[in-house]
Structure 1
Amino acid sequence: MKKLLTLTLGMCVATLMFAQLTVPPSGGNQKSTVTQWIGPVSVSITYNSPDVHGPNGEDRKGHIWGELVHYGFIDQGYGTSKSAPWRAGSNENTTITFSHDVKIGGKDLKAGTYGVFLDVEKEGPWTWIFSHNSTSWGSYFYNPKEDALRVQTTPVDAAYTEWLTYGFDDRQLTSATAYLQWENKRVPFKVEVPNVNDIYVNTMRGELEGTMLGFSNGPWMTAAQFCAQNKVNLDEALRWADNAISGSFIGVEDFSSLQTKALVLQAMGKDAESDLIMDKAIKQPTATVQAVHQYGKALLASGKTQKAMEVFKMNAQKHPEDKFTPYVGLARGYTALGDKKNAIKNWELAIKNLPENQKPNIAFYEGELKKLKG
């Protein structure tokens, strides 16, 4: 028992000796993380950030690239690597994490966490290296066999930056350009999510099948509308739209749910079926004067002038209490038909009954009338 106690105490002492305390970062190289979302996809870079002036305040301007940061692959005198790139930061390994599969510089890279290294060259392109080994210390144990991807890049001149900084710019719906910026250089690489709509759909599908959305048809309409707008996953979107109309516990047949189904049918190229659904939708008690008006405008925009005119006339008959919106619709319809007389008449009626919330737009309406009279 005494031997066991002695052994246990020895192990505790050894553990305490090697335990790490929380202390300031070595060399003042602060740890940072920057995250950018590309749609539903997150990209996070974690790094340690040195400054140009160094831990003791020494001015290292003009001595960063090719000196403090070595060119090419070298033996750093420690670790197993005899041909190591720069660790693309300081202290620990720089890492990057992708929540989903992406493309870097046009090349595929799977979701996950990678070590990030940079081959810095005196002349010619530099190379970003993404390694499956994200846990080693810096690049002292770099092994090219663990490379997941290499992508060439061209450094560009940049505004002076004291602290090594990672960031993102040129942020688009399906891509963003990540960069390292330090001293007078910026080193970029482009991150793309070419299948972003598929990711959205997969996420929505999981959420719709979950239990957190309650007994509402709103999420089903939102998902179906997204698919219609982007013309993706249309067969399933039609089922989602039908569920919003007649699904157990959640289905509600009203203007919004019927319009959603019509949008999906239109995206599928089934215009005749879409028109039939919309004919039903605009006759619903829930079809507001503004909703019907917007549908008529959409018909005008798609070149269906006669159909739009029918909708505008129906809106005026159904909502005699509204002395403005139906007249605007009729004015637009008659203008599209080339019937100036009736177009002028309805613009004048609309302007005469201009509601308070439309007064800021009076110049536009009077301009439309003036064009017809001119």
Structure 2
Amino acid sequence: MSNKRKLSGGFVLVFAILLTGLFATQALAQLQTPRVSPYSSITQRIGITDVTITYHRPGVKDREIWGELVPYGKAPGNPNFGSGNPHPWRAGANENTTISFTHDVTIEGKPLAAGTYGLHMIPGKTDWTVIFSNNSTSWGSFFYDESEDALRVTVTPQEAEHQEWLRYGFEELSGNSAVAFLHWENLKVPFKIGVNSTEIVINNFKNKLRSTPGFNWQSWNQAAFYCLQNNVHLDLAEKWVKKSISMNENANNRNLLGYILMAQDKKDDALQVFQENVEKYPDNWNVHDSMGEAYGKYGQKKKAIQYYKKALSLAPQNQKSRIEGILQKLEQES
């Protein structure tokens, strides 16, 4: 009997230890189960800048949202959790809503550095405050500290069609801007994001050309062409295309040099380059076309006609109608 009691007592002790370990393991494991407000994220590229918003999506579920579930102004603090102070809305559910930028941006015209921010909002009946906090890792807005603000902007909400599950999106996309928005229940809260795409691209070129892409002539040519296309940093474009020529001289990069010189109003230098191209690449229709364009720009219509006719005789079929149209116009003006 005593042995059975000893065995029974030992079993209880072992079971208790195992049970304690099991609960401890469960506490640490953080098993994944469906959440009432599911996780979501959205990324939009503006130029070459990526903007990513991560958030959780609460549902309306027949509740009054604005001014009720989400109060106007700051929400009262919880003395048992967080800082206990009144705080803005987390602009979602669960953990911090975050927004990330791969390059410096502007928000409603105000500068904001590249990085990841906690996104908070203070709703109002007419205007909303959108807050970008340097703290992006806390739970919701309960630990919000105004001293950690990176930027605040004021925006105006818009009435919108019913949206059951909170969502973020982007609209009015261009090469240099987009409007991000929060949409829930019957409101849309927009804020405009701006990027200086051209300067970002140029700075990216400067870095990339010091690495593997800098070993081929095409990269230098591409960078120079981008500058010409956007009419920026033409002095740098000239330097880059000359680097391309030094690596592999061809009709493509030499012709680009002529256009870059012409864009800088270096008339004589441009004409000289185009003339050299005609002599170096007499069977290339494009160099004759460019020579004609240069003479046309500088008012020498007879010479322009001469070179356009040569270009027409060499050009592929898909270029002939364009050149014929230019010739017709030049001949009418002569």
Q: TM-score range by the shorter chain?
A: 0.7 to 0.9
Q: Name the SS of the counterpart of 1:263 in structure 2.
A: helix
Structure 1 residues not aligned, in runs of 5+: 1-9, 54-58, 341-374
Match of 2:41 among 19, 33, 36: 33
Letter in 1 for 2:165: W
1:323, 1:44 → 2: CA distance? 45
Deviation at 1:241, TM superposition (A): 0.7
Question: What amino acid is aligned across from residue 278 of structure 1 in structure 2?
Answer: F
The structure 2 residue matched to 1:126, chosen from 125, 128, 131, is 128
In structure 2, which of residues 261, 269, 275 is the aligned counterpart of residue 273 of structure 1? 269
- Where 2:74 maps in the other structure, the secondary structure is coil
**Percent identity between the two aligned chains:** 40
Deviations 1:213-238 (A, max 9, x none): 38531111110111122222333322
Q: What's the counterpart of residue 18 of structure 1?
A: 28
User: Partner amino acid for 1:90?
Assistant: A
Report how many residues are paired. Answer: 315
8 Å Cα contact 1:254/1:281 also seen in 2: no
1:259 and 2:267 are equivalent in the alignment = no
Choose 39-48 or 269-278, whichever is displaced more. Answer: 269-278
Query: Structure 1 residues 299 and 226, CA, compared in 2 at 3 Å: closer, same or farther?
Result: farther
Are 1:203 and 2:197 counterparts? no
Larger RCO (alpha carbons 8 Å, 6+ apart): 2
Is the contact made by 1:255 and 1:286 (CA closer than 8 Å) also made in structure 2?
A: no
Deviation at 1:336, TM superposition (A): 2.2
How far has the Cα of 1:297 moved from its partner?
A: 5.0
CA contact (8 A) 1:125 1:152 kept: yes
In the alignment, what sits opposite 2:240?
A: 240
Deviations 1:234-258 (A, max 9, x none): 3332221111112xxxx22221111
Shift of 1:69: 1.0
AA aligned to 1:67 is: E
Matched, 1:150 2:152: yes
1:86 correspondence with 2:89: yes
- From the superposition, tell whether residues 210 and 92 of structure 1 become closer, same or farther in structure 2 (CA, over 3 Å): same
Pairing 1:73–2:36 present? no
8 Å CA contact retained: 1:265, 1:273:
yes
Aligned AA (1:336)? L
TM-score (norm 2): 0.84
Q: Is the 8 A contact 2:134 2:150 kept in 1?
A: yes
Equivalence for 1:368: none
Distance 2:322 2:27 in 1: 82
Tell whether the 8 Å contact from 2:255 to 2:274 is kept in structure 1 after alignment.
yes
User: Which amino acid is 1:130 matched to?
Assistant: F
The 3 A distance-change label for structure 1 pair 282 and 136 is: same
SS of the equivalent of 1:310 reads: helix
The answer for the alignment partner of 1:111 in structure 2 is 114
Deviation string 1:253-308 (CA, Å, 9 cap, x unpaired) is 22111111112222322122112111122333375325533663576477553442
Query: Alpha carbon RMSD of aligned pairs, Å?
Result: 3.0
SS at match of 1:338: helix
3-state secondary structure, aligned to 1:283: helix
What are the Cα deviations for residues 144-192 of structure 1, in whole angstroms up to 9, with x where unaligned?
1111111000000112111101000000110000000011110000000
Q: Secondary structure at the match of 2:279?
A: coil
Correspondence 1:1-374 to 2 at 5 A: 14=24, 17-25=27-35, 27=36, 29-53=37-61, 59-60=62-63, 63-77=64-78, 78-122=81-125, 124-193=126-195, 195-211=196-212, 213=213, 216-246=216-246, 251-285=247-281, 288-289=284-285, 292-293=288-289, 296=292, 300=296, 305-315=301-311, 319=313, 329=323, 332-333=326-327, 335-338=329-332
Amino acid aligned to 1:94: T
Change (3 A) 1:162 1:282: farther
What secondary structure does 2:280 align onto? coil
Deviation at 1:22, TM superposition (A): 1.3
TM-score, with length taken from structure 1: 0.76
Cα separation, partners in 2 of 1:324 and 1:206, compared to 1, 3 Å: closer
Residue pair 2:168, 2:181 contacting (<8 A) in 1 also: yes
Contact 1:85 1:117 in 2 (8 A): yes
Q: CA deviation at 1:91?
A: 1.0
Cα distance, 1:320–1:102 mapped onto 2, change above 3 Å:
closer
Determine if contact 1:262/1:278 at 8 Å carries over to the other structure: yes
d(CA) in 2 for partners of 1:153, 1:108: 16
**Cα distance between partner residues in 2 of 1:171 and 1:321:** 37
CA shift, 1:143, in A, is: 1.0
SS at match of 2:130: strand
One-letter code of the match for 2:166? L
Deviations 1:293-337 (A, max 9, x none): 366357647755344223224446xx5799997797477435424
How big is the shift at 1:86? 0.7
- Secondary structure, in 3 states, of the residue corresponding to 2:124? coil
